[in-house]
Amino acid sequence: MERPNDDAADADADAGAQDTADSTRGLDRDAPGGAAGLLPAQRERRARTLGRRAALTSGVAAVLAAVLLGAVIMIRQGGVPFEIDEEWAEEVLTLRGPFGDTVALFMNWLGGGIVGVFLVPIGVAIVLLIMRRPWGALYFIVASAASAGVVQLLKEWFGRARPEDMLVTSDFGSFPSGHVANAATISVAIGVIVPILGVWIAGAAYTVLMALTRTYLGAHWFTDTVGGLLVGAGVALVLWAAFAVPLERERLAWIARVSERNAARAQAHITPPERT
């Protein structure tokens, strides 16, 4: 007497299994071409993967562009300045004066030598360690060292002569600018560690000012600063792709700690104190 009910239950079960299989096949179809059928966690992982690929691709492209620019410069009659180099140098020379000299010499001191190569990276790393951001400190140190290494390699490779009217003493090789590369690396790295719009704007302004002062001092041609910008930013982006996962975990943990601390401070100022 109960057999018809059993048959109906079996039919419903078969229909449900078919619906599940159809849904699974639909998910499989959506996954390669879009994120519509992905779960939230899958979408997050996919976004992170695409972000790392974008950083890696952009960084490699920037470094290769710098190498190509250097090659074009040296193939063109052994490093003879471009027209834009000469015109820019003439314009900058008209701006020289006591105030400009002071600013440019300060930037020269800040962005190179022991201060720029050692003290600034180590100082920033110490601050990050105090903030309990060890991955950020490691990323910053590695990016700074790698950028400086690539710059020196390209300087030796191309061996471009510097401008003759220099106000400072510089090492061998005009292309690319080590000061600008260092500034770009610092700006991108700190922007990655503290992803706030104001940080990125300040970093961009610092890098542009460094580029301007390098040509102001006659230490580099305009195209040298372009090469330095490409190398510095490119190296920082490539290493961002390598450090992306631990940096993001560390950033989220830091935000959580700051939120808890702010909440505790706000609670302490409630009058009368909240009773638990």
Contact between 252 and 147 under an 8 Å Cβ cutoff? The reply is: no
Mean local confidence (pLDDT), 210-239? 96
| Spatial CA neighbour of 244 closest among 135, 124, 129, 128 | 135
Give pLDDT, residue 21. Answer: 43
Average of pLDDT values for 229-257? 92
Q: Phi/psi at 61 (nearest 5 deg)? A: -60, -40
Report the pLDDT value the prediction gives residue 255, as an integer from 0 to 100: 87
pLDDT band for position 202 (50/70/90)?
very high
Assign 179 a pLDDT band (cuts: 50, 70, 90).
very high
Which range, of 26-30, 157-161, 258-262, averages the lowest pLDDT? 26-30
Q: How does pLDDT run across 140-167, given as a tens digit for each residue?
A: 999 999 999 999 999 999 999 999 888 8
Q: What CA–CA distance (Å, rounded) separates 146 from 126?
A: 19
Whether the predicted pLDDT of 218 surpasses 90: yes
Contacts of 228 (CB under 8 A, 6+ apart): 66, 151, 176, 177, 178, 179, 180, 181, 184, 211, 214, 220
Q: Is the pLDDT of residue 63 over 70?
A: yes
As a whole number, the mean pLDDT across the chain is 84
Of 231, 247, 238, the closest CA to residue 195 belongs to 247
pLDDT in tens, 85-131: 999 999 998 889 999 999 999 999 999 889 998 999 999 999 999 99
pLDDT at 165: 83
Give the pLDDT score at 272.
Answer: 57
Q: Model's pTM, two decimal places?
A: 0.79
Count Cα neighbours of 252 within 13 Å in the Cβ-side half-sphere.
Answer: 5
